[in-house]
């Protein structure tokens, strides 16, 4: 196994153990209204950063709980969400993950998403396929919204009059069903392994999706920008198992505007 990937998997599993140890024992604060952070996020990120930079001291490190803005360069850069699904974690709803991506030339080349409750480790390397616990995975072949199970997520600041709410209502009448699971990284991995068929989202950040997006595309998934070209730094996107399904989701979302 590639050493970058091996290191990322080890760091993710170690952080996952920290999260499980903290579960049900944390003090919660708000970074912004309805945007939570706990000492578990901070402890997990610190452990990941130490693990990665011990192996690769010349690499850059960007974590969700770091200060400052994200700037991508041609250098090797780790982008990390130590706890994707903090609200679920706080309520002891067992759907959260650790997300670690390595970028080179501003593009993900390694991605690892680890669910410490189910002990599911999703991972991928550029042009080497996607895997779940060493078993190769691929997206479903779903072509139509009426047969599709979709997932989505909302920003903490959503209101009933926002475009996000209008888009949700448009999709609600056409999809087989919709889920809002609370972890963007796991949403992408569930799409990669065929558990769901499509995913649309806005209001996310690079650390939410950098690893999961590589896993999805390596599993055969399709990604397009929701409002133009896809931008990792300002990710608004439609992800789908097939192009035909992505086309139908895009048309439906556009009807809300």
- pLDDT band for 13, please (50, 70, 90 cuts): very high
At 136, is the pLDDT very low, low, confident or very high (cuts 50, 70, 90)?
A: very high
Ranges of each domain in the chain? 3-136, 145-254
Distances (CA, A) of 87 to 36, 71, 74: 6, 27, 34
256 φ, ψ (degrees, to nearest 5): -85, -10
Please tell me the predicted confidence (pLDDT) of residue 164: 86
d(CA 206, CA 52): 18
CATH topology of domain 145-254: D-Maltodextrin-Binding Protein; domain 2 (3.40.190)
Mean pLDDT of 162-172: 89
Q: How many CA atoms lie within 13 A of 71 on its CB side?
A: 4
The values of phi and psi at residue 147, to 5°, are -105, 0
**Can you tell me which residue has the tokens 């130590």?**
82
Distance in angstroms (rounded) separating the CA atoms of residues 8 and 110: 8
Burial class from Cβ neighbours inside 10 Å (0-12, 13-18, 19+) for residue 74 reads exposed
The pLDDT assigned to 161 comes to 82
**Number of neighbouring beta carbons within 10 Å of residue 249:** 27
CA 208/CA 120 separation, integer angstroms: 17
Asked if domains 3-136 and 145-254 share a fold, the reply is no
pLDDT confidence of residue 127: 95
Q: What is the C-alpha separation between 76 and 154, in angstroms, rounded?
A: 30
pLDDT confidence bin for 1, thresholds 50/70/90: low
Token output for 151: 């997932």
Per-residue pLDDT of 54-77, as tens digits, reads 999 999 999 988 765 678 888 999
If residue 165 lies in a helix (H) or strand (E), which one and from where to where? Answer: helix 163-172
Residue 161 is encoded by which pair of tokens? Answer: 């009059």
- Higher local confidence (pLDDT), 7 or 227: 7
Asked whether residue 35 carries a pLDDT value surpassing 70, the answer given is no
Name the one residue in this structure whose structure tokens are 């759907």: 95
In the predicted structure, residue 257 carries a pLDDT above the cut 80: no
Confidence of residue 159 (pLDDT cuts 50, 70, 90): confident
pTM over 0.85: yes
Reported confidence tier of residue 30, pLDDT bands at 50, 70, 90 = low
Q: Which CATH architecture has domain 3-136?
A: 2-Layer Sandwich (3.30)
* Range 151-161 burial, b when 16+ CB lie within 10 A, else e: bbbbeeebeee
pLDDT higher than threshold 70 for residue 37? yes
- Across the chain, mean pLDDT equals 92
Mean pLDDT, range 83-90, rounded to an integer: 93
Share of the chain above pLDDT 90, in %: 77
Q: What is the pLDDT of residue 124?
A: 98
């Amino acid at each position: 196994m590639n050493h970058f990937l091996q290191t990322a998997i080890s760091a993710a599993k170690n952080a996952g153990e920290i999260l499980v140890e903290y579960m049900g024992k944390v003090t919660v604060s708000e970074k912004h209204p309805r945007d939570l952070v706990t000492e578990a996020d901070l402890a997990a990120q610190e452990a990941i950063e130490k693990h990665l930079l011990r192996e690769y001291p010349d690499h850059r490190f960007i974590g969700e709980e770091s200060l400052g803005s994200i700037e991508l360069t041609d250098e090797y850069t780790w982008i990390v969400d130590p706890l994707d699904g903090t609200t679920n974690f706080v309520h002891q709803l067992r759907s959260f993950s650790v997300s670690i991506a390595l970028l080179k030339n501003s593009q993900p080349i390694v991605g690892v998403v680890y669910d410490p409750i189910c002990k599911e480790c999703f991972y991928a390397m550029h042009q080497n396929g996607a895997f779940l616990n060493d078993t190769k995975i691929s997206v479903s072949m779903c072509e139509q919204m009426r047969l599709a199970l979709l997932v989505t997520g909302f920003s903490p600041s959503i209101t009933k009059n926002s475009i996000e709410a209008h888009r949700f209502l448009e999709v609600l009448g056409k999809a087989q069903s919709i889920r809002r699971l609370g972890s963007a990284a796991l949403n992408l991995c569930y799409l990669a392994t065929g558990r769901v068929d499509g995913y649309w989202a806005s209001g996310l950040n690079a650390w939410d999706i950098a690893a999961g997006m590589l896993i999805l595309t390596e599993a055969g998934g399709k990604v397009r920008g929701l409002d133009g070209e896809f931008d990792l730094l300002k990710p608004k996107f439609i992800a789908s198992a097939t192009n035909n399904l992505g086309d139908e989701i895009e048309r439906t979302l556009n009807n809300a505007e």
